[in-house]
Amino acid sequence: MNTIHLHGTAFLGADFVPENVELTINNGIITDISPAREITGKLILPAFFNAHTHIGDTVAMDTQIDRPLKELVAPPNGLKHVILRETPRDKLISAMRHSMQFMYAGGTTGFADFREGGTDGVAALSAAKIPGIHPVILGRDGGELTAEAAGLGLSNAHRLESEIEAAAAAKKAGKLVAVHAGEGAVKDIEPAFELEPDVIIHATQFRKEDIRRAADEDIAVVLCPRSNWLLGVTDSAKKPPVRELLDAGCRVYLGTDNVMFVPPDMSAECAFLMTAYKTTPEETFRMATGGFALCGQSSVIENGAQANLFVMEDEGLLAWSRKPLATALTRLGRGAVKTVISPVSEGIYCKKQ
């Protein structure tokens, strides 16, 4: 039996209640959570899920934002697509693997990636996979129907017959449909809803009626606030309408978007969201972990659950903290992550020492 013992302040259950505990993991399952007296200076947190990435963009990291968003990222001839087409496959795989290693080392054990490049793009990401991190691959241009893909990831909705057919085919195959909408304008929001997607990305320009519809139709909304601010599609805490989405009962997840502009660092994304949009630590962390629902998993720390978590050193801050989860998300950062434990398909549990 593979047994792991952890001791520290763990954030337990769906409400992330901080308790000083001894935690036992047997063969990847949390089998015991017992109160502890000794304080160790360690924080045990549910693993992050990065609900929106484009990790192929790693090959264009820190490209200058010197033109409109459409000219930077829109298919087929936006700058990123030109760079992706010119990048050799082995270099693309190496770059994607680097970003996965970066995410994993910071406590992210799952992510949803919009994978450009058709079947070849999906195959490249599948080939880049590393132990301990689970990619939910959302392909396009035929890639969405391959065995490795979890579904379709559309750049935008334009009411094109090809988009409608692709979404219908993905649904028929039992796969997810995800689409960017309302990032820089409102004109693509209604066409996106017409596709009956499972997920809408950005929703930066969502109006009251769009929020209500997403809630009523149980469409998950993925927000990427750092990307929105950096790319100039918002300069206001009202866009995206984070508070309104949460109050309406929408399923809201958090992602980091294009690696070419924003590091896939979920700790930094959480800190920015809390600062700019005044979300509570619990709301923020729920958004940063909830995306596991896209692959039928979770990272809740409770008896009987899979061990899907990471451990941070508190650097002495917990002694003074009146809100330990806020301290973890805003003051420590990915550099404080010392151990990551994650389920992988072979049933092995990987740790970063």
214-266 pLDDT, tens digit per residue, is: 999 999 999 999 999 999 999 999 999 999 999 999 999 999 999 999 999 99
Would you say residue 345 has pLDDT above 60?
A: no
Would you say residue 346 has pLDDT above 50?
A: no
> What is the rounded distance in angstroms from the CA atom of residue 353 to the CA atom of residue 349?
13
User: 347 pLDDT band (50/70/90 cuts)?
Assistant: very low
Would you say residue 351 has pLDDT above 70?
A: no
pLDDT at 344: 62
What tokens does 204 get? Answer: 């930066």
> How does DSSP classify residue 41?
S
Domain annotation for the chain: domains and CATH numbers: 3-47+299-350 (2.30.40.10), 48-295 (3.20.20.140)
pLDDT, one tens digit per residue, over 233-247 is 999 999 999 999 999
Give the torsion sign (CA, 131, 55, 310, 243): negative
**Region 129-154 average pLDDT:** 96
pLDDT at 1: 55
Would you say residue 352 has pLDDT above 80?
A: no
Would you say residue 349 has pLDDT above 50?
A: no
pLDDT at 38: 87
pLDDT, one tens digit per residue, over 277-335 is 999 999 999 999 999 999 999 999 999 999 999 999 998 999 999 999 999 999 999 99
pLDDT at 71: 84
Q: What is the value of pTM for the model shown?
A: 0.95
Work out whether strand 309-313 and strand 337-343 pair parallel, antiparallel, or are unpaired: antiparallel
* Mean per-residue pLDDT of the chain: 94
What are the CA-CA distances from residue 43 to residues 4, 132, 146, 307 (Å)?
A: 16, 20, 40, 15
pLDDT at 79: 87
Q: Could you tell me if 301 and 44 are in contact, meaning their C-beta atoms sit under 8 angstroms apart? A: yes
